[in-house]
Structure 1
């Protein structure tokens, strides 16, 4: 009986839950992952580097995420922001606001990391899901702008909607590729002026 009881007690001990997760440590790791990725780049991004930056042991990171890709994807998803549902009263105003918001986000370190991960998804299947998820969010936000314009009575050529959105987003991403985080010092006036000229140029695609 004693042996059985000892085995049962040992089994109970083995089934006891481990130390609960520390949300503060998790947040430090998620933040460190973004910073490490931006500073070191995808080729030199490692769990070791993230652990050192976060001030935790490597095993602490591996207890939560199986590999560096899973950690990076979770870091982006945890800090991703919803896309503002813009409504300025006009299609032009909405597109200016939408593209300005996007440019403002992409010049932020988190936004820039998100952009790089989306680009890397072409070669890294681990990033495909988060890249599609982000693209769908932006596609829906742009679609809402055009749906609202139709509700206001604007005549919208459906065949031109996707090319217009692709041109606008392409112009913004090229700005990011050309200047990267150097854009962080740009003023709000400069951001909006750049997006306004881009929107005015692209909207000509909608003209009869």
Structure 2
């Protein structure tokens, strides 16, 4: 019996799962881009796997091999295409906040940035987007708080109780600009963008005054 067992074990050991079809990284990137564009054009309510497949030039079955449903595809697309807004060091708190606000507003008025804004708003009604919305908010919060940490390292006296209200006011002002303008209506020039962000920061920084 032991010989039979050994032969069976040996035969089983030679069985290997056939490898699946390798991913095509170029096709995958095309799908992620198509999903972002479909979302921006049609919104979450009319976002479909069929629409993404047509836009990407692939079969719908290709999408379902990689993503369970449309929400999973959209979430991964936004996560993969979004980027953190870095806290640039200009040497002063005011300069850092102006640069941070400028970079954020410029990004949110771009297609990918606007998609991250839209999915954050849609997360209120769709729990499938909740985690990625929190992730995005945490990235922005981290960048903003890093500005104040660096100011302390430079020796600035920062009232900790005022940090969150300042950050919320800045992001609130940026959000209103995005809502008012929408996608495809950027500022006429970098100078106009900088002027708007500078006046916003100067107003909000009054919260830091004793």
TM-score relative to the length of structure 2? 0.91
Q: In 2, distance between residues paired with 1:46 and 1:174?
A: 29
RMSD over aligned CA atoms reads 1.8
Cα-to-partner distance string for 1:83-106 (whole Å, 9 max, x where unaligned) = 223110100000000000000100
Shift of 1:186: 3.0
User: Which among 174, 189, 203 is matched to residue 191 of structure 2?
Assistant: 189
Q: Is 2:150 the partner of 1:118?
A: no
In the other structure, the counterpart of 1:202 is 204
Alignment of 1:21-170 (within 5 A): 21-170=23-172
Unaligned runs of 5+ in 2: 1-7
Moved over 6 A (4+): none
**Higher helix proportion (structure 1 or 2):** 1
TM-score relative to the length of structure 1? 0.92
Q: In 1, distance between residues paired with 2:142 and 2:187?
A: 30
